[in-house]
Amino acid sequence: MSDYAGLDLGGTAIKHGVVDRTGAVLAQGATATPPGGRDAILQTLAGIVQEYCRAFTLEAVGLGTAGAVDFESGTILGHSPNIAGWGNTPVRAELHRRLRLPVAVDNDANCMALAELHAGAGQGCRSLFFLTLGTGIGSAVVNDGKLWRGAHSLGGEWGHATIVHDGRPCACGQRGHLEAYASATALVARARELAGRDDPEPADARGVFAAAESGDRAARQAVAETVAYLASGIASAVNLLDPERVILGGGMADAGDEFLNAVETQTRARVHVGLAEHLKIVPAVLGNRAGFIGAALLARTDAGAGPT
């Protein structure tokens, strides 16, 4: 009865599952993202849902995907750097044609935020600011209990906010963005740079946090800088949005209490008058299930056939 399939498409894996109306997970799995571009991906996504159809009565399907999405039409905008051949795909229409089920498509950060709102760290809130700190930085805004989309369904983007005017190059081609200073990628690059080493260690953000904990000076400094940049970026967004709660997701949000407490303390010191006492920064709780849970919850409220 009234169950929903959720798909979370990333560059290496598709995480997926079935949830009920409340966001409770009834089944879940993961599948490698196929090489071969658009048709291979669409076929794999459809196959996952068809498999779930054997055990569940699905009302609708939701997809969260990397990259910018035109939510109204369910189309990927521009090129999608992490998934070859995915740009400009009319995903909603294509999946609907294959599945004959209502489909909703949004970017992955929006889906994660929706999951945390209804079934995670944002339960009971009417407004949220959500940041996911991973390879890049995704973000989403919840206002009045709903995802804030903006006038053209393109809002909620904070990873490419400028925090150092004309600063470090960002993956998007511009400079000085939060993503270039506070993503896992940026943290690892900065730790290596400070260490002055050519060897590829630490290999990932987890490695940098571990090295910092064991006293490595370069790693400690890289983490400290990342905390300060994140605090800058979060404080600016909080000044504008005044959200009930800030939720940090993605791999870096698992770095532990010391990191999160430092981010909260420094953000509190940077927000505008009156906001410090209300500031609340919490880690996401749904981990890497947030994407498909949120996609399924999106399907519950926003699924349709898309343009044909």
Exactly one of 126, 204, 206, 287 binds its own copies (CB under 8 A); that residue is 126
Q: Give the pairing of strands 103-107 and 146-147.
A: unpaired
Question: Of 35 and 274, which has the nearer Cβ to its own copies?
Answer: 274
Question: Of 55 and 172, which has the nearer Cβ to its own copies?
Answer: 172
Question: Of 30 and 125, which has the nearer Cβ to its own copies?
Answer: 125
Exactly one of 192, 270, 289, 300 binds its own copies (CB under 8 A); that residue is 270
204 counts as binding its own copies under rule CB under 8 A = no
Cα separations in angstroms, 283 against 102, 154, 250, 256, 280: 32, 25, 9, 9, 10
Exactly one of 239, 256, 258, 307 binds its own copies (CB under 8 A); that residue is 239
Q: Is 147 helix (H, G, I), strand (E, B) or coil?
A: strand
State in angstroms the smallest separation of the CB of 149 from its own copies: 7
Residues from 5 through 64 that contact its own copies (CB under 8 A): none
Cα separations in angstroms, 104 against 8, 152, 248, 261, 301: 12, 16, 24, 36, 9
Tell me how far apart the alpha carbons of residues 151 and 20 are, in angstroms, rounded to a whole number. Answer: 30
Exactly one of 50, 162, 265, 288 binds its own copies (CB under 8 A); that residue is 162
CA quadruple 160, 163, 165, 170: dihedral positive or negative?
negative
160 counts as binding its own copies under rule CB under 8 A = yes
In sequence order, the 6+-apart residues with CB closer than 8 A to the CB of 239 are 271, 272, 275
Side-chain half-sphere of 106: how many Cα atoms within 13 Å?
A: 36
Exactly one of 24, 37, 261, 272 binds its own copies (CB under 8 A); that residue is 272
152 counts as binding its own copies under rule CB under 8 A = yes
Tell me how far apart the alpha carbons of residues 206 and 211 are, in angstroms, rounded to a whole number. Answer: 9
Contact 183, 159 (CB under 8 A): yes
Residues from 171 through 190 that contact its own copies (CB under 8 A): 172, 174, 176, 181
DSSP-derived letter for residue 239 is H
Exactly one of 12, 151, 200, 214 binds its own copies (CB under 8 A); that residue is 151
97 counts as binding its own copies under rule CB under 8 A = no
Q: Give the pairing of strands 128-133 and 245-249.
A: parallel
State in angstroms the smallest separation of the CB of 275 from its own copies: 5
88 counts as binding its own copies under rule CB under 8 A = no
Which residues sit at the interface with its own copies, rule CB under 8 A?
68, 70, 77-78, 126-127, 139, 141, 143, 148-158, 160-167, 172, 174, 176, 181, 228-229, 232-233, 235-237, 239-244, 270, 272-275, 278
